[in-house]
């Protein structure tokens, strides 16, 4: 008996009990749909993480004070004594005679604070930054101008608002440029408004206020003095290309060790992390997250497979006399085995096809409700299809074997 003939017989057998076949396929439909939908969420979250890191800028190196846990996100070890970085460190890194392959360097001195205008108040993140900060961090303006070198030299009380403070403090018909706001009760004049950027690995990039770094260090906050220089929170380095980032990191490491007078026996009192390192750390997390989601969804496929086995055993019992007649007219054991195996696989594949459509619809629904750009990849569809076929094959083996081993005389006598 050919494979096509087995498929035809399987379809006819399923058509005899349409409701039972539909209920049996429901487990596979839900299982495959869950695999497709949950994997699309995992892939979408992975793409979101990469997009957020790309929004930080391009070819970036981050220099943090203190040592970081290997393979972790930028969180310092508990109880570690941290030596701050300084403006002098940033200026030395920007010197092309000391570090080559660097496009721009921007230090940051930042603290949490509040911004107030009239009776409106918002908790925000206040960043003291130099003019280079805009290009290094890839910030765009919708209104006004960014911090200039003149503002830094004069320690001016001027501020560039993020999209969120601008929305919260000003009505849609108000023009914020030139208006006065208070940062930690200190008045500042608004000179610019940033374009919306979304969240990022270091927090909400829209809920920020950027002021001159000199103003943040001396007039709004009190930055500590280290080695005769004002401290900074971290330093951003923009390398010329992806290929030179490792070389730049090595040069910066050697320079900072020399400036901080670290002996060859001692560990660094700073950490340098590349953009790709951060993406890898969070990428590993999202990969595990996606695998866990797929495994949870896979359980429902196993449950659907058990349903197939149950129905196939019932089918073998109901068709015992038919099996006896087939054997009596010359059907071999392998023909009976193939017939019931094909029937189980066809049942699983039809359920799998419907499950793919169901999963795709669920992914679109999740994207609408959660605001996450879910991604249905071809490998997820192939994985779900192959897994559903494997489930049908695996859970169809025992009923098919039982049918093939029936004695034709006993089968013909069965009522």
* Residue 263 clears pLDDT 80, i.e. is over it: yes
Write down the pLDDT at residue 195. Answer: 92
Write down the pLDDT at residue 78. Answer: 37
* 291/100: higher pLDDT: 100
Q: Which two tokens mark 284? A: 């590993």
Mean per-residue pLDDT, 301-323? 74
* Residue 199 clears pLDDT 70, i.e. is over it: no
If we measure between CA atoms, which residue out of 67, 96, 60, 59 comes closest to residue 257?
A: 67
For residues 122 and 115, the answer to whether their CB atoms sit within 8 Å is yes
Map out the domains of the chain as residue ranges: 3-52+281-413, 83-268
If we measure between CA atoms, which residue out of 364, 353, 389 comes closest to residue 37?
A: 364
Query: What is the largest distance, in Å, between two alpha-carbon atoms of the chain?
Result: 104
Phi, psi (rounded to 5 degrees) for 71:
75, 10
Q: Is 126 left (phi over 0), alpha (psi -120 to 50) or beta?
A: beta
How confident is the model over 168-187, as pLDDT tens digits?
999 988 999 999 999 999 99
Reported pTM: 0.63
* Residue 54 clears pLDDT 90, i.e. is over it: no
* Residue 73 clears pLDDT 50, i.e. is over it: no
If we measure between CA atoms, which residue out of 175, 121, 122 comes closest to residue 144?
A: 175
Lowest average pLDDT, out of 206-210, 253-257, 344-348, 401-405, goes to 401-405
Q: How many CB atoms lie within 10 A of CB 22?
A: 14
Mean per-residue pLDDT, 187-211? 84
Tell me which range, 66-80, 108-122, 232-246, is most confidently predicted by mean pLDDT.
108-122
How confident is the model over 315-342, as pLDDT tens digits?
777 667 676 777 677 767 777 777 777 8
Q: Is 79 left (phi over 0), alpha (psi -120 to 50) or beta?
A: left
Phi, psi (rounded to 5 degrees) for 255:
-65, -45
Write down the pLDDT at residue 191. Answer: 96
Tell me which range, 57-66, 179-188, 366-375, 405-414, is most confidently predicted by mean pLDDT.
179-188
pLDDT-derived band of residue 74, with 50, 70 and 90 as boundaries? very low
Tell me which range, 72-81, 173-182, 202-211, 280-289, is most confidently predicted by mean pLDDT.
173-182
Beta bridge partners of 129: 212
Q: Is 229 left (phi over 0), alpha (psi -120 to 50) or beta?
A: beta
* Residue 411 clears pLDDT 60, i.e. is over it: no
Write down the pLDDT at residue 145. Answer: 95
* Residue 343 clears pLDDT 90, i.e. is over it: no
Mean per-residue pLDDT, 262-277? 81
């Amino acid at each position: 008996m050919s494979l096509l003939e087995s498929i035809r017989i399987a379809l006819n057998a399923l058509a005899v009990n349409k409701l039972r076949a539909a209920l049996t396929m429901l487990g596979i439909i839900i299982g495959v749909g869950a695999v497709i939908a949950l994997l699309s969420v995992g892939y979408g979250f992975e793409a979101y993480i990469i997009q957020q890191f790309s929004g930080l800028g391009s070819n970036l190196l981050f220099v943090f004070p203190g040592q970081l846990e290997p393979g972790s996100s930028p969180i310092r070890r508990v109880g570690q004594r941290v030596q701050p970085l300084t403006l002098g460190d940033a200026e030395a890194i920007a010197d092309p005679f000391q570090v080559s392959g660097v496009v721009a360097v921007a230090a940051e001195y930042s603290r949490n604070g509040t911004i107030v205008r009239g009776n409106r108040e918002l908790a925000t993140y206040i960043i003291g930054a130099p003019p280079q900060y805009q290009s290094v961090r890839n910030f765009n303006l919708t209104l006004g101008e960014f911090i200039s070198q003149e503002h830094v030299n004069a320690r001016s009380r001027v501020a560039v608002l993020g999209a969120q403070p601008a929305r919260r403090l000003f009505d849609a018909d108000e023009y914020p440029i030139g208006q006065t706001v208070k940062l930690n009760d200190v008045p500042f004049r608004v000179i610019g408004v940033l374009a919306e950027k979304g969240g990022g690995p270091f927090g909400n990039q829209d809920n920020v206020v950027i002021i001159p770094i000199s103003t943040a260090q001396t007039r709004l906050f009190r930055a500590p003095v280290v080695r005769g220089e004002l401290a900074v929170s971290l330093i951003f380095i923009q390398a010329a290309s992806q290929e030179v980032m490792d070389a730049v990191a090595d040069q910066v490491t050697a320079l900072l060790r020399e400036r901080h007078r670290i002996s060859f026996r001692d560990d660094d009192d700073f950490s340098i992390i590349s953009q790709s390192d951060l993406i890898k750390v969070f990428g590993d997390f999202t990969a595990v997250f996606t695998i866990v989601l797929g495994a949870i969804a896979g359980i429902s496929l196993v449950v659907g497979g058990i349903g197939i086995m149950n129905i196939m055993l019932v089918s073998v019992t109901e068709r015992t006399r038919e099996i006896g007649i087939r054997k009596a007219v010359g059907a071999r054991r392998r023909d009976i085995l193939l017939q019931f195996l094909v029937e189980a696989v066809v049942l699983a594949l039809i359920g799998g096809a419907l499950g793919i459509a169901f999963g795709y619809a669920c992914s679109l629904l999740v994207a609408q409700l959660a605001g996450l750009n879910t991604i249905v990849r071809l490998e997820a569809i192939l994985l779900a299809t192959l897994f559903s076929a494997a489930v049908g094959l695996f859970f169809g083996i025992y009923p098919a074997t039982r049918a093939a081993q029936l004695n034709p005389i006993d089968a013909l006598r069965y009522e």
